[in-house]
Structure 1
Amino acid sequence: MANITAAVVKELREITAAGMLDCKNALVENDGNMDAAIDYLRKKGLSKAAKKSDRIAAEGLVSSYIHGGRIGVLIEVNSETDFVAKNEEFQAFVKDLAMQVAAQNPKYIRPEDVPAEVLEKEKEILKAQALNEGKPEKIVDKMVEGRIKKYYDENCLICQSFIKNPDITIQDLLNEKIAKIGENLIIRRFTRYEVGEGIEKKVENFAEEVAKQINM
């Protein structure tokens, strides 16, 4: 059985805003696995983020970020009230998301946003790769599912590690803000532009540049 420390319980509480006892029970039930404990609390309806998820969020903010005149991002994040949209912490959160998109170049917001045909094609490629590696066919499907999770982690914004704190995901960050601000918040859409995109040119790691600037 995993050692459930007070610090881990506190961290889960900060992410979900659920009660301390509920957080401890969730960690015990899931052998200390933080992600599984978060899902457990959501399913139980004990996470504040889960309780607020069905509330209409029609206000919000469109924010922009431009990196060196070469990468530009527009992102819309919705809140329930105009009051929250004017809140400095909310505005900083939206700016962080814009910088995240600039640095990590996600293609989608959530796993469910990935088109079915794109997902199927990716699975076919991953399956072929696994078979070419000589993996037994009976375990290939499980390997593909594991690699699809990695695909989500790289290509879906909410699954990505937060560039300012790689120990949490954007979904964790969103849950923290929902709990702290007290309103449902929704990452609605984003657009990312990069100079010369689609044109053959010298490879430059703009994402690394953005990440360095953020962590200065």
Structure 2
Amino acid sequence: MASVNMADVKRLRELTAAGMMDCKKALEESEGDFDRAVELLRLKGAKDVGKREARTASNGLVAVKHEGDSAAALLELNCETDFVAKGERFQELAADVVAHILATRPSDVPTLLESELNGKTVKELLDEANAALGEKIEIRRFSVLEGGYVGSYMHKTDPQLPPAVGVLVQLDTAKPDVAKDIAQHAAAMAPKFLSPAEVPADVIAKERALFEEMTREEGKPEAAIGKIVDGRVNGWYKDFTLLEQAFVKDNKKSIAKYADEAGVKVLAFARFKVGQA
């Protein structure tokens, strides 16, 4: 078996909450392939590993900027320590950049970095912050939702720090209370996709293959494997797609049903948690 780096073992343990030795064995068996190691832990019964991958792995903040009720931008700006994250300069930089994003609608992070803000490129502003604060400062991602009604929810995991979780929710109708409910739900339950129809084919193919491997390892009858795998895929949808998740305020109904009863359609959402993929 391949030797493994203990830093990778620690990272895998932080992401999955599996035991240290289990993580080491998974990395050895996967020959250092981190994603495969996660899959092996799931196969060996480390429950909820997929959900635990949402744990925070770095510092920074999530910032939001609205343009009326119909558009908003969400930004994740990262740094190395919470000391910098709670500093005024870092938070002002985030506010400036997220406002710039909403005003200019860049297509991606590289385009954003090359765009001009206050007479300098955004990259130059980040470099200046790096030098002044003594830490690596970087933009990890951003999202802009526009059209219909766009609501948001920002959550502080520590009252002394800026928001570490931010959610935008886009509805076809202006219902602020509904948007807030759904945004708070998304902040807590960490959906990855809006609906089963929006899950990329390669993602669900990978999950289906893993569930089939898991089912065979459990010794289930060959004739039943297809049905069991279908059930597990449907369960995955209920865990990771917003509209299929059970509403946190009433787990007898899905978010889709809650929205339908409220007379709205959920068009899109964006959820960022500092350090989360």
Asked if Structure 1 and Structure 2 have the same fold, meaning a TM-score greater than 0.5 normalized by the shorter chain, the answer is yes
Asked if residue 141 in structure 1 is aligned to residue 226 in structure 2, the reply is: yes
Partner Cα separation in structure 2 for residue 194 and residue 59 of structure 1: 24
Q: How many residues align?
A: 126
Query: Following TM superposition, by how much is the alpha carbon of 1:174 offset from its aligned partner in structure 2, in angstroms?
Result: 1.3
Query: Following TM superposition, by how much is the alpha carbon of 1:59 offset from its aligned partner in structure 2, in angstroms?
Result: 5.7
Tell me which residue corresponds to 1:187.
Answer: 266
Asked if residue 177 in structure 1 is aligned to residue 246 in structure 2, the reply is: no
> 51, 60, 63: which is aligned to 2:148?
60
Partner Cα separation in structure 1 for residue 253 and residue 262 of structure 2: 13
Partner Cα separation in structure 2 for residue 197 and residue 155 of structure 1: 14
Whichever structure has more helix as a proportion of its residues is: 1
SS of aligned partner of 1:64: strand
Asked if residue 78 in structure 1 is aligned to residue 179 in structure 2, the reply is: no
Asked if residue 115 in structure 1 is aligned to residue 200 in structure 2, the reply is: yes
Partner Cα separation in structure 2 for residue 193 and residue 94 of structure 1: 16
Partner Cα separation in structure 1 for residue 220 and residue 260 of structure 2: 38
* Letter matched to residue 165 of structure 2: I
* Letter matched to residue 188 of structure 2: A
Tell me which residue corresponds to 2:176.
Answer: 91
Query: Following TM superposition, by how much is the alpha carbon of 1:191 offset from its aligned partner in structure 2, in angstroms?
Result: 1.2
Percent identity at matched positions?
Answer: 34
- Give TM-score, length-normalised by structure 2: 0.44
Partner Cα separation in structure 1 for residue 241 and residue 255 of structure 2: 10
Partner Cα separation in structure 2 for residue 108 and residue 196 of structure 1: 18
Query: RMSD of aligned C-alpha atoms?
Result: 1.5
Deviations along 1:132-182, one digit per CA (max 9) or x if unpaired, are 01111111000000101100100111111110111111111012112xxxx
1:168 to 1:103, Cα distance in 2 relative to 1, 3 A: same
* Letter matched to residue 166 of structure 2: G
Residue pair 2:147, 2:170 contacting (<8 A) in 1 also: no
Partner Cα separation in structure 2 for residue 177 and residue 97 of structure 1: 11
Residue pair 2:153, 2:166 contacting (<8 A) in 1 also: yes
SS of aligned partner of 1:95: helix
Query: Following TM superposition, by how much is the alpha carbon of 1:193 offset from its aligned partner in structure 2, in angstroms?
Result: 1.3
Query: Following TM superposition, by how much is the alpha carbon of 1:197 offset from its aligned partner in structure 2, in angstroms?
Result: 2.5
- Give structure 1 regions of 4+ aligned residues with deviation exceeding 2 angstroms: none
Query: Following TM superposition, by how much is the alpha carbon of 1:195 offset from its aligned partner in structure 2, in angstroms?
Result: 1.8
Tell me which residue corresponds to 2:59.
Answer: none
* Letter matched to residue 194 of structure 1: K
1:59 to 1:70, Cα distance in 2 relative to 1, 3 A: closer
Structure 1 regions of 5+ residues with no counterpart?
1-57, 80-84, 179-184, 199-216
Deviations along 1:97-155, one digit per CA (max 9) or x if unpaired, are 11111010101111111111111111100000000011111110000001011001001
